[in-house]
Amino acid sequence: MDTVLVTGGTGHLGRDLIGLLKPDYRVRVLARSRGTDPDVEWVRGDLAAGAGIREAVSGVRTVVHAATWSPAARRGYLLPTDFWRSPADVDVDGTRRLLDEAARSGVGHFAYVSIVGVDRPRLPYLRLKHAAEELVRVGKVPWSVLRATQFHWLADRMLGKAARMPVLPLPTDIETQPVDSGDFAAYVAQRVADGPGGQCEDFGGPELLTFGDLVSQWQQIRGRHRSVVRVPVPDRLGQAARDLTCPTGRRGTLTWSAWLLSHPPE
Ligand SMILES: NC(=O)c1ccc[n+]([C@@H]2O[C@H](COP(=O)([O-])OP(=O)(O)OC[C@H]3O[C@@H](n4cnc5c(N)ncnc54)[C@H](OP(=O)(O)O)[C@@H]3O)[C@@H](O)[C@H]2O)c1
């Protein structure tokens, strides 16, 4: 059995991916804290500190690099600082370290998980993801870059935080295409089986929704009712949101409403 290293294996995508890989591969996870799954080989490490990476890639055929550090995603809302800086130590420095060690140890496939639209980035975090993609593309290890649109869990977390306010001032007209991380994990797992694919087709959710639709389905299913105040958006913000969708790309099947019905609030 080949060994596959998953970084970010304790995260949303990572957990889905591990479940899909376990029947066919020996799965190793580089993580800051040891997980509980006894069928996984846990290597304690930290991409930002450069710890545990050599040990994690040793004897590995494929690396799926899904670790990331997005302060906004962690807290569930944007702060003004997110518009001018984002820490690079996991996404850029950590990716560089992982690539160097992967090349040194003869890894055959480095699959980097990224985000649709990072080549037209409007936020510092997306610029970091694009910089990391570039490292992968010019690196010595045969590679794949797999991009997805926003995951359902993130939209759910952000709306949950926003609903603490009595009124929701929202750009209801902008478009979004949220996707299930499990659907995307299946696409990534297929890429692991198929081997290096270079720049892969973008992967998005099954439906394009306006933010207004997204919020009204969320309110109905989560039972949280707040008045929504429509905030008009300039064209360039509308375009920035469209850049994060991929209407002509590959599509998952689990819709936003079906996902909400099958996942309790965090
Ligand atoms: N969320 C989205 O909407 C979205 C959309 C498209 C693509 N993506 C991409 O998909 C990938 C996975 O995203 P996700 O939503 O599953 O993220 P997530 O749930 O936030 O998980 C992030 C993972 O990165 C790990 N990590 C953070 N800092 C680390 C460090 N210093 N060293 C080692 N591991 C570290 C975390 O470990 P801990 O458990 O220790 O914190 C966690 O396992 C990322 O590349 C992301 O950019 C995300």
User: Of 27, 188, 191, 30, which is closest to residue 95 (Cα–Cα)?
Assistant: 30
Cα-to-centroid distance, 132 and ligand 1 (Å): 14
pTM: 0.97
Tell the residue nearest (CA) to atom 11 of ligand 1: 66
Give percent of the chain above pLDDT 90. 94
At 266 the pLDDT is: 82
Residue whose pair of structure tokens reads 């429509």 in the numeric block: 230
User: What is the C-alpha to C-alpha distance for residues 118 and 97, in angstroms, rounded to an integer?
Assistant: 21
Q: What is the pLDDT of residues 202-231, one digit of tens each?
A: 999 999 999 999 999 999 999 999 999 999
Cα-to-centroid distance, 232 and ligand 1 (Å): 32
- Structure letter (DSSP) for residue 255: -
Q: What is the pLDDT of residues 171-204, one digit of tens each?
A: 999 999 999 999 999 999 999 999 999 999 999 9
At 185 the pLDDT is: 98
Angle between helices 211-222 and 152-162 (to 10 degrees): 80
At 35 the pLDDT is: 86
* CATH code of residue 81: 3.40.50.720
Is pLDDT above 90 for 261?
Answer: yes
**225-250 burial code (b ≥16 CB/10 A, e <16):** ebebeeeebeeeeeebbbbbbbeebb
User: What is the C-alpha to C-alpha distance for residues 226 and 79, in angstroms, rounded to an integer?
Assistant: 21
* Structural domains of the chain, count: 1
Give percent of the chain above pLDDT 70. 100
Cα-to-centroid distance, 73 and ligand 1 (Å): 9
At 255, the amino acid letter reads: T
At 34 the pLDDT is: 84
Average pLDDT value over all residues in the chain: 96
Q: Which atom number of ligand 1 is nearest to the Cα of residue 178?
A: 3
Is pLDDT above 90 for 39?
Answer: yes
Q: What is the pLDDT of residues 49-75, one digit of tens each?
A: 999 999 999 999 999 999 999 999 999
Q: Which atom number of ligand 1 is nearest to the Cα of residue 46?
A: 32
At 46 the pLDDT is: 98
At 122 the pLDDT is: 87
Tell the residue nearest (CA) to atom 9 of ligand 1: 114
Is pLDDT above 90 for 263?
Answer: yes
What angle (nearest 5°) sits at the alpha carbon of residue 192, between those of residues 190 and 194? 70
Q: What is the mean pLDDT of residues 117-143?
A: 96
Q: Which residues line ligand 1 (CB under 6 A)?
A: 7-8, 10-14, 31-33, 46-48, 66-69, 73, 90, 113, 115, 129, 148, 150-151, 154, 181
Q: Which atom number of ligand 1 is nearest to the Cα of residue 15?
A: 16
**What is the domain range of residue 168?**
3-262
Beta strands 62-65 and 227-230: pairing type?
Answer: unpaired
User: What is the C-alpha to C-alpha distance for residues 20 and 48, in angstroms, rounded to an integer?
Assistant: 27
Tell the residue nearest (CA) to atom 47 of ligand 1: 114
H helix runs in 28-180, sequence order: 53-57, 71-75, 95-104, 124-138, 152-162
